[in-house]
Structure 1
Amino acid sequence: MTGAAGGPAAAPDASLLATAGRYVPVGLALFAIQLDFFSLSLALPTISRDLGVPVTDLQWLLSAYLLSLGASFVPAGKVGDLIGRKRTLMIGLVVFGVTSLVCGLASDVGLLIGFRAAQGIGAALIMPNAFALMGASLDEAHRAKVMGLMLGIAGVGTALGPVVGGVLASTAGWRWVFFINLPVALIAVLGAQRLHESYGTGSRGSLRSLDWPGVVLVMAGLAALSVGVDDVSTFGIASPATWGPLAAAVLLLTAFALRESRAVSPLVRPALLRNRAYVVLVVASTVANVGLNVGVLVATLDLQSVRGLSAGASGLVFMLGSIGLAVGGPVSGWLTARFGAPWVLCGALVVGAGALLALAVAPDLVVFVIALGVTGFACGMGYSVSQIGIPGILAPEEVGEGSSLLLTVLVSVGGIAVVAAGAVIELQGPTPTTASLDSTLLGTAALLGAVGLTTLVSAALRRP
């Protein structure tokens, strides 16, 4: 009786686990990126002492990486569409591993920053193609759940990053923050060889059809935008040092848009932006990411400037928020498979708005920690759902392009949101106060709630 009843019910679970097992190398690739990024910040003081440079100069280790990462997403996704997502993923892993090795061996800060930027290109080759590979090759029955599990593996890297970075920097040395990427990248490359190519297994000649002028324009435009946004916090919004890069970004990205409207094989097809379901997905997930970024910024200022916690104690608090972020991936996969991406996105935004409100009114640290964890869970789920939902609304040959454009918007708008939130806080006084931080959280919560309700209306109108 038990065997007869349990057999059929157990089969789907066994099939899901077997399918997910094949894609663990993809999850490891995403894990390596998250672990690397979130572990480096705590190693900066150690690098500063070892190389004899001011720690403020080492902020370029973060900025150069983010600049090259954001600028490379769109061409990286198109390359994957042309020559194959698995092939491009493996190339990205090799680039990421080799540049990690050079960063770990570097004895000069210029070399370290340069290869850190190259490491960002490797990460850009990995991320959109990891999602596109899963989205285009998994069947509909397994896609959402498997992608959710792989995003959960990546989320573990996010949660462990600060802990691993702090431990390695204080024991084995900061170089091991980079060296630890090597075995993970190697295992991921070897495991990825067993995966089937999802699309476009052509030769290198396929890259000849890539819109190279468009590549130059979009990378230069996004790089200028990143520099301009970064300069706002350094020179102020009214400085020519800020407006110069921002003006260049507007001109370059306008030229890119004009180029794409006439190109034979554009990096971003205009038809993609006429896909209403895709646009709703991009906007909603971007707003969820804004909520996460602003929440982290305000929580950092609240914990250290208002509540007076040390950096170490603040790191422990943020680890709880990161756990919520890690759990959001698998949960979003299960919910998306059951209810569909628009409905899950709506729920994530509304819950995220409530969590930000709770952060604003939290009377004690316990409530604050819980609210931060829920913020990470809800807003992280909003990001995950967007990647899971793309394969269901785009053609297989568009998945890489759609994923890369989404990631570009997420990174760019997320950076702008942090700068804007910082400016709003500074306008209310030279130092952060409870009032200035709470008003920033309330405004962000209102944005999440409004977009969540709009997503709900859009989803309801699309129902047959």
Structure 2
Amino acid sequence: MMQNVFVEVRERTARAGLRGYRLLALTGAALAYFMVQLGMVPVAITLPTVAREFQVDIAQAGWAMTAYLLVLAALALPAGRLGDILGYHRVFFVGVVVYGAATVLTGFAGSMAQFIALRAVQGIGGAILLGTTFAITANAVPESMRGRAVASTAMAASVGSMIGSTTAGLAVTYLNWRWTFFFLLPIAVVTAKIAWDMARSAPSTTERRSTRIDIPGTVLFVGVLVTLVLSLNHLHEGPETFEAGWGYHTTMQVLAAVLLALLLVVESRAIEPLLILRHFRNGLFSSALAANIVLHITMASIFFLLPFVIQRGMVLPPLYISSALVARQILDISAPALSGWLYDRTHSRLIRPIGMAVICSSILTMGLLATELSYVGLVVMTVLTGFGSGFFVTTNNTVILSALPQGERGFATGMLETTRQLGHTVAVVVVTAAMGLALGGQDSGAVLPRTYLEGFRYACFAVAATSAAGIVLASLATRRMRALAEKQAPVPAGVRSGE
């Protein structure tokens, strides 16, 4: 009898410890995403003020955004794989420290060169966090709770975006742009403490140990991403068009293709590869990643287009832009919760296609009514895209994470972030091409408002067609694929399914 009592006490203690770890993991993951968004979104608002203080033009100041996003895109996957190899919690803690320290130091920058360099370091910390956060989230909970867990992180990111936009405006108006970065210090300290406690209380089965790091694969992967992103930027002499810089763009894209071919050869022979090629044979995983690219093409396109259509097409003041974006973000916060709850309850294959269909129909409507659409109508359609995005992204992220084994979810998380950044990059090309087709090389000061609305129409049609492809990709999950994903997603040790 005494032996049974001891066993029961030990089991209760283990369950209590696991619940405590789960709370730490979900809180730490949510705070990490909140912190990254809080430190990323305000930069676009403060950049004109920073450029004026350091007496540089906007083009030079724009490298602060480019450096951050370039480093983030290139290092998210290596960071995720580092988590697979060394343990997610230790890598995550390093990411919190690097991101928090770099953000605060950015507030002390004494020149634009320092500002850009510190933003790049901030990108390193952000890549580490974004490359490990979802892996920690997915491994901390049983499969029956995974949708809601992923939703909590997505909601935290949206809240961070909203608060970041607000604090940046207040700091620039009433304090100093530097306070935009100083505000992050207490959040970074709290997140670092949680990350430390999380690492100490983590069940041993959630950490994987190895000594193999794929250096050649990492170098080649970073090279591919950097050359690809730079090939889509106009870093050449003459007009900023692809026709004027065809030599530069073609050379960079050929270089990216060569590096990609070398990467595939190296990874196919690596013992512990950065790019785990066998997982791309998993149809559910690959189609969900492709759908993630489509999602972020559509969403980034909307963010890029709204300022033009509202300020230059509808001839309304900038305040109207902020109002439209805030209205969109409200549903971007609430929709993930609904989607995560539905997915956990039903595992329905219809959730993702429905979310993408809402996005597609809303953007198509904006395109069809571009020259007649009122501001209120534009806001309504924009809000619907926010709902569709939030409804889609939680389930799609959960599907991607559940498609891989527990010890390789850093790879899944890294690919999530890589495809997100790739979608943003492609969106710039799509929007630029569509607007350029409408403007026809005219000087921006001489362009009539209706011309901007026509450009908006072309862009919406292109993005709607892209999102229609996303509906198809989101519908590819067959029962066999779903069964494979659930079979590959073991429940953490000590957790009973449905607990």
2:379 alignment counterpart: 369
The whole-number CA distance in structure 1 between the counterparts of 2:36 and 2:347 is 28
The whole-number CA distance in structure 1 between the counterparts of 2:473 and 2:213 is 36
Find out whether 1:338 has 2:345 as its counterpart.
yes
1:30 alignment counterpart: 33
2:424 alignment counterpart: 414
1:437 alignment counterpart: 456
Find out whether 1:114 has 2:124 as its counterpart.
no
Question: Runs of 4+ in structure 1 displaced over 4 angstroms?
Answer: 15-22, 460-464
The whole-number CA distance in structure 1 between the counterparts of 2:214 and 2:229 is 22
Matching residue's letter, 2:197: R
Gaps of 5+ in 1: 1-14
The whole-number CA distance in structure 2 between the counterparts of 1:295 and 1:41 is 16
**TM-score, with structure 1 as normaliser:** 0.90
2:95 alignment counterpart: 92
Question: In the alignment, which of 274, 283, 296 is matched to residue 289 of structure 1?
Answer: 296
1:142 alignment counterpart: 145
2:273 alignment counterpart: 266
Matching residue's letter, 1:292: M
CA contact (8 A) 2:289 2:400 kept: no
Matching residue's letter, 1:236: T
Q: What does 1:158-169 correspond to in 2, within 5 Å?
A: 158-169=161-172
The whole-number CA distance in structure 1 between the counterparts of 2:335 and 2:141 is 21
The whole-number CA distance in structure 2 between the counterparts of 1:381 and 1:272 is 26
2:467 alignment counterpart: 448
Q: Give the 3 Å change call, closer, same or farther, for CA 416–183 of structure 1 in structure 2.
A: same
Per-residue Cα deviation, 1:33-56 (whole angstroms, up to 9, x for no partner): 112111111111211222222222
The whole-number CA distance in structure 2 between the counterparts of 1:438 and 1:314 is 18
Q: CA deviation at 1:383?
A: 2.8
SS at match of 1:107: coil
Q: Give the 3 Å change call, closer, same or farther, for CA 79–231 of structure 1 in structure 2.
A: same
The whole-number CA distance in structure 1 between the counterparts of 2:77 and 2:26 is 23
CA contact (8 A) 1:152 1:326 kept: yes
The whole-number CA distance in structure 1 between the counterparts of 2:468 and 2:383 is 18
CA contact (8 A) 2:292 2:419 kept: no
CA contact (8 A) 2:168 2:180 kept: yes
Matching residue's letter, 1:399: R
The answer to which structure has the higher helix fraction is 1
Aligned length: 446
Which one is further off, 298-307 or 311-320? Answer: 311-320
1:70 alignment counterpart: 73
Q: Give the 3 Å change call, closer, same or farther, for CA 460–291 of structure 1 in structure 2.
A: farther
Q: CA deviation at 1:269?
A: 1.3
2:242 alignment counterpart: 237
The whole-number CA distance in structure 2 between the counterparts of 1:222 and 1:462 is 29
Q: CA deviation at 1:328?
A: 2.8
2:51 alignment counterpart: 48
Matching residue's letter, 2:324: V
The whole-number CA distance in structure 2 between the counterparts of 1:232 and 1:200 is 43
The whole-number CA distance in structure 1 between the counterparts of 2:76 and 2:330 is 27
Q: CA deviation at 1:439?
A: 2.4
CA contact (8 A) 1:346 1:452 kept: yes
CA contact (8 A) 1:42 1:162 kept: yes
Question: In the alignment, which of 287, 298, 301 is matched to residue 305 of structure 2?
Answer: 298
Question: In the alignment, which of 389, 396, 413 is matched to residue 406 of structure 2?
Answer: 396
Per-residue Cα deviation, 1:328-375 (whole angstroms, up to 9, x for no partner): 332221122133274221111101111212323262111211111111
SS at match of 2:107: helix
Which one is further off, 281-290 or 118-127? Answer: 281-290
Q: Give the 3 Å change call, closer, same or farther, for CA 288–223 of structure 1 in structure 2.
A: same
Which one is further off, 427-436 or 176-185? Answer: 427-436
CA contact (8 A) 1:292 1:380 kept: no
The whole-number CA distance in structure 2 between the counterparts of 1:58 and 1:392 is 40
**TM-score, with structure 2 as normaliser:** 0.84
Which one is further off, 151-160 or 451-460? Answer: 451-460
Q: CA deviation at 1:82?
A: 0.7
1:378 alignment counterpart: 388
Q: CA deviation at 1:16?
A: 9.8
Q: CA deviation at 1:232?
A: 7.4
The whole-number CA distance in structure 2 between the counterparts of 1:341 and 1:176 is 45
Identity of aligned residues (%): 24
Find out whether 1:220 has 2:199 as its counterpart.
no
The whole-number CA distance in structure 2 between the counterparts of 1:325 and 1:341 is 21
The whole-number CA distance in structure 2 between the counterparts of 1:329 and 1:18 is 23
Q: CA deviation at 1:463?
A: 7.4
Q: Give the 3 Å change call, closer, same or farther, for CA 314–109 of structure 1 in structure 2.
A: same
Matching residue's letter, 2:72: L
Q: Give the 3 Å change call, closer, same or farther, for CA 201–275 of structure 1 in structure 2.
A: closer
Whose radius of gyration is greater, 1 or 2? 2
CA contact (8 A) 1:285 1:382 kept: no
The whole-number CA distance in structure 2 between the counterparts of 1:328 and 1:187 is 27
The whole-number CA distance in structure 1 between the counterparts of 2:356 and 2:64 is 32
Q: Give the 3 Å change call, closer, same or farther, for CA 246–425 of structure 1 in structure 2.
A: same
2:320 alignment counterpart: 313
Q: CA RMSD in A?
A: 2.4
